[in-house]
């Protein structure tokens, strides 16, 4: 298997709201997993043009779509993705987000031009219903896992149910703020600040480097502006998102009207088809709001306003005198707010209070520059004489709150989204400047990609492996704690042999006996049996088997068998007489080792067949002849084999026989441990043969020693590279003279029979 790269690339691509506000949509790709964050539409555009750049990606690869909150510019594209594309992933949002999204989008479809509904357009009511059926709900802080992706959410303030998402893939954490606010207002809590540091922070930059006035100042300005308009006999229009910030503004107005008897003759209308349903939703989720609202709830429903009336239809509106109307949509694109604006714009007594953020390309943004003329929805040009004031209640962070959030979360990388190009680049500059004062190692990278521009980041792969095995005594623990004789032997997880299981980007090593219980694998064992004819004598087969394998043992003879052997502890061989022929029955548990040993046993059996008599007397060519009386363990043959290996390697003229002296005592001027193959230098082993190897001015002496079946080669040389080279060569050669052992080696070269 090829070595896996040590680094993985995380790619973040804004498909919408890259250097713009509107149609939020971000693609996250890492280690084969794909997550989509939000899918909104651009309020300043229409039809398919309002969607994010979805056609640039293969949506069938998206595993999850996480929706931060119900605003149109974050959620209105969700039914399009689920119903009109090949997206097959799961969709998650909080309870209130789903409830309000359904209401809002139903209203949104109603306002769509006929061409934009159903087939070929964005979607219709049925698509929305099917989409909502697909949505899975999450609570704040609830951890969800899906094929190696873990995520959970935090309260983001902003609007009811708004969430920040922390997403973890392969040990890399990414925090998406969505729209968030750090201020407590009349009904919402401020955003939570996660204590876990993200590697990447995808952060909104709506207000760039601006500073918000305090809430008290803005509220006073808001109420006094409205008061001025109605006191001069004018009509006051407040365009709002149908749900969300409208509730906050209504709470402020209702409270102000309560205090001001002189204003109570001026009616305040909330022109929303959803007013009563919205009220129910807000009541349902009151426990997700702040204490201010919950305390009020104990006295009377704070969303049942005393001085605000619901306006079901614009036809019911009597605007002959001063009046205050809150109406959607918030940026005057169409609908009731636009109808009222067209009706009121030409009188200097009237006024418009823009209370939210206005996106580029919308009428709300356009009138902020106070043009002399405006176009009505049906294309007429009319003078604009009404006053226009912007007071932000949009519940987005300003620069100082954004920076405070960066300081608290200490991300390694920041990706800015959801901000107009200029605001975003100013924010980027300021963030680079401010974080530049930090120590180099904690300074984050800051990027501000435009739509379709991928930001790549490289992360070292987490290569830790969890072990699941039996608890056993740690043999090294005693050595480390030799001074503490009474200490109970410490236990730790030990996996002596196991299976490495890679699942959901995590690796776990399971001990063999834990596989069935603990691993996600289903475990079964396969017992293999193989029969073949044995043409030779049992003795010949037995002898050949012994020359090939180090571990061949006679075992209790099975019923009817002539002989029963265990080879390598994994294959059982029964020799049985069947009819006229003799048969071998091999039985083993399927495993890489068992399969190889069984194959080798079959080869030996076939080898017997070729010339049984000759094999019995001479043995196979390279295996020491074990039958010689004066050399029962084949030491001389092994020595000859080693010499042949040296000659083969260095050439005849460079290898010579050398006198074999007795083993030198330690400390005689030879660096034994370094020159010696043996880990056991104290073993007394007789020298069988010695060879001198001479290479130009370098020389070495190799001494082959034997003690019964245990062999060893000592290499002495003043030249380290030569000594190492000889040692490797002779170790391998010595290996070849030994029968195959399936157990840990006992008589390998240099181990000296330890
Ligand atoms: Zn929003």
Domain span at 531: 527-617
717 and 639 within one domain: yes
203 and 268 within one domain: no
131 and 187 within one domain: yes
Q: How far apart are CA 53 and CA 6, in angstroms?
A: 32
Q: How far is the CA of 110 from the centre of ligand 1 (A)?
A: 21
Could you tell me if residue 408 is inside a domain? yes
Return all residues near 503 (Cβ < 8 A) that are at least 6 apart: 148, 520
Q: How far is the CA of 62 from the centre of ligand 1 (A)?
A: 23
Could you tell me if residue 168 is inside a domain? yes
Instruction: Give per-residue pLDDT as tens, 84-115.
Output: 999 999 999 999 999 999 998 998 888 777 77
Segment 401-405 long-range contacts (CB within 8 Å, at least 24 positions apart): 401/181, 401/182, 401/183, 401/212, 402/203, 402/204, 402/205, 402/207, 402/427, 403/430, 403/431, 403/434, 404/182, 405/177, 405/180, 405/182, 405/191, 405/193, 405/203
Q: Are 256 and 248 in contact (CB under 8 A)?
A: no
Nearest alpha carbon to residue 726 among 670, 677, 681: 677
Helix (H, G, I), strand (E, B) or coil at 465: strand
Q: How far is the CA of 751 from the centre of ligand 1 (A)?
A: 72
350 and 440 within one domain: no
Q: How far is the CA of 328 from the centre of ligand 1 (A)?
A: 15
Q: Which of 396, 478, 607, 633 is catalytic?
A: 396
Could you tell me if residue 753 is inside a domain? no
Q: Which residues pair with 740 in a beta bridge?
A: 549
Predicted pLDDT at 438: 95
Could you tell me if residue 629 is inside a domain? no
Predicted pLDDT at 245: 81
CATH assignment at residue 203: 3.60.15.10
439 and 359 within one domain: no
CB neighbours (10 Å) of residue 80?
23
Catalytic (active site) residue 396: yes
Q: How far is the CA of 222 from the centre of ligand 1 (A)?
A: 20
Which residue ranges in the chain fall short of pLDDT 50?
A: 479, 614, 618-627, 665-682, 745-754
Predicted pLDDT at 264: 93
Could you tell me if residue 108 is inside a domain? yes
Q: How far is the CA of 137 from the centre of ligand 1 (A)?
A: 19
**Location of structure tokens 């003759």:** 265
Instruction: Give per-residue pLDDT as tens, 43-62.
Output: 888 889 999 999 999 999 99
Could you tell me if residue 121 is inside a domain? yes
Q: How far is the CA of 142 from the centre of ligand 1 (A)?
A: 22
202 and 115 within one domain: yes
Predicted pLDDT at 471: 60
232 and 268 within one domain: yes
159 and 98 within one domain: yes
Instruction: Give per-residue pLDDT as tens, 183-209.
Output: 888 888 899 999 999 999 999 999 999
415 and 365 within one domain: no
Instruction: Give per-residue pLDDT as tens, 440-496.
Output: 999 999 999 999 999 999 999 877 888 777 666 555 555 455 555 555 556 666 677
Could you tell me if residue 566 is inside a domain? yes
**How many domains does the structure of the chain reveal?**
5
* Domain end (from 367, 390, 413): 390
Q: How far is the CA of 176 from the centre of ligand 1 (A)?
A: 13
* Domain end (from 617, 649, 671): 617
Helical segments of 195-234, H only? 215-231
381 and 416 within one domain: no
Structure tokens belonging to residue 185: 């207002």
Q: Are 447 and 415 in contact (CB under 8 A)?
A: yes
CATH assignment at residue 314: 3.40.50.10890
* Domain end (from 370, 390, 410): 390
192 and 236 within one domain: no
Predicted pLDDT at 298: 78
């Amino acid at each position: 298997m090829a070595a896996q790269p040590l680094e993985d690339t995380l790619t973040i691509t804004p498909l919408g709201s890259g250097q713009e506000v509107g149609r939020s949509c971000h693609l996250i790709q890492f280690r084969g997993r794909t997550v989509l964050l939000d899918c909104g539409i651009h309020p300043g555009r229409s039809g398919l043009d309002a969607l994010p750049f979805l056609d640039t990606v293969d949506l069938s690869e998206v595993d999850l779509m996480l929706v931060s909150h119900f605003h149109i510019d974050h959620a209105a594209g969700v039914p399009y993705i689920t119903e009109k594309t090949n997206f097959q992933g799961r969709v998650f949002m909080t309870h209130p987000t789903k409830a309000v999204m359904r209401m809002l989008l139903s209203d949104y479809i109603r306002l769509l031009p006929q061409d934009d509904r159903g087939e070929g357009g964005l979607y219709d009511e049925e698509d929305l219903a099917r989409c909502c059926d697909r949505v899975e709900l999450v609570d704040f802080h609830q951890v969800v896992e899906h094929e190696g992706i873990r995520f959970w959410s935090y309260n983001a303030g902003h609007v009811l149910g708004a969430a920040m998402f922390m997403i973890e893939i392969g040990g890399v954490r990414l925090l998406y703020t969505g729209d968030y606010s750090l201020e407590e207002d009349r009904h919402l809590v401020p955003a939570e600040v996660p204590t876990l540091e993200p590697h990447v922070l995808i952060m909104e930059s709506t207000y760039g480097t601006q500073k918000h006035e305090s809430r008290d100042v803005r509220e006073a300005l808001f109420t006094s502006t409205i008061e001025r308009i109605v006191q001069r006999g004018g009509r006051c229009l407040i365009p709002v998102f149908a749900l969300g910030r409208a509730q906050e503004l209504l709470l402020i107005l209702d409270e102000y009207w309560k205090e001001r008897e002189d204003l109570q003759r001026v009616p305040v209308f909330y022109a929303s088809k959803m007013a009563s349903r919205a009220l129910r939703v807000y009541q349902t989720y009151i426990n997700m709001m702040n204490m201010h609202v919950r305390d009020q709830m104990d006295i009377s429903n704070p969303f049942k306003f005393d001085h605000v009336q619901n306006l079901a239809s614009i036809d019911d509106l009597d605007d002959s005198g001063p009046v205050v109307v809150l109406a959607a949509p918030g940026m005057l694109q169409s609908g009731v707010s636009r109808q009222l604006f067209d009706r009121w714009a030409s009188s200097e007594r009237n006024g418009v209070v823009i209370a939210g953020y206005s996106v580029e390309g919308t009428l709300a943004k356009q009138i902020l520059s106070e043009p002399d003329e405006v176009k009505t929805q049906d294309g007429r040009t009319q003078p604009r004489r009404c006053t226009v004031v912007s007071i932000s209640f949009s519940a987005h962070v300003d620069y100082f709150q954004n920076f405070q959030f960066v300081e608290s979360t200490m991300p390694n990388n920041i990706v800015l989204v959801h901000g107009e190009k200029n605001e975003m680049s100013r924010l980027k500059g300021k963030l680079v400047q401010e974080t530049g004062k930090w120590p180099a190692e904690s300074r984050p990278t800051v990027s501000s990609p435009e739509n379709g521009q991928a930001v790549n980041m490289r992360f070292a792969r987490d290569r830790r492996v969890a072990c699941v095995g039996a608890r056993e005594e740690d043999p090294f623990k005693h050595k480390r704690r030799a001074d503490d004789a009474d200490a109970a032997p410490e236990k730790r997880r030990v996996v002596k042999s196991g299976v490495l299981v890679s699942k959901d980007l995590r690796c776990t090593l399971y001990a063999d006996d834990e596989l069935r219980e603990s691993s996600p694998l289903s475990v079964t064992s396969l017992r293999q049996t193989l029969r073949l004819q044995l043409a030779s004598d049992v003795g010949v087969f037995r002898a050949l088997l012994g020359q090939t394998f180090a571990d061949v043992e006679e075992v209790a003879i099975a019923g009817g068998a002539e002989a029963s052997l265990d080879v390598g502890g994994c294959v059982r061989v029964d020799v049985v007489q069947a009819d006229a022929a003799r048969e071998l029955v091999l039985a083993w548990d399927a495993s890489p080792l068992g399969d190889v040993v069984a194959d080798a046993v079959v080869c030996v059996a076939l080898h017997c067949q070729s010339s049984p008599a000759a094999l019995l007397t001479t043995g196979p060519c390279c295996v020491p002849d074990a039958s010689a009386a004066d050399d029962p363990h084949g030491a001389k043959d092994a020595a000859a084999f080693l010499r042949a290996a040296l000659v083969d390697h260095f050439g005849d003229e460079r290898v010579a026989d050398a006198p074999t002296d007795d083993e030198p005592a330690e400390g005689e001027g030879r660096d034994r441990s370094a020159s010696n193959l043996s880990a056991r230098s104290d073993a007394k082993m007789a020298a069988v043969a010695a060879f001198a190897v001479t290479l130009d001015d370098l020389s070495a002496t190799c001494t082959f020693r034997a003690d019964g079946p245990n062999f060893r080669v000592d290499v002495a040389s003043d030249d380290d590279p030569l000594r190492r080279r000889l040692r490797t060569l002779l170790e391998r050669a010595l290996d070849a003279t030994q029968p195959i052992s399936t157990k840990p080696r006992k008589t390998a070269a240099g181990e000296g029979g330890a």
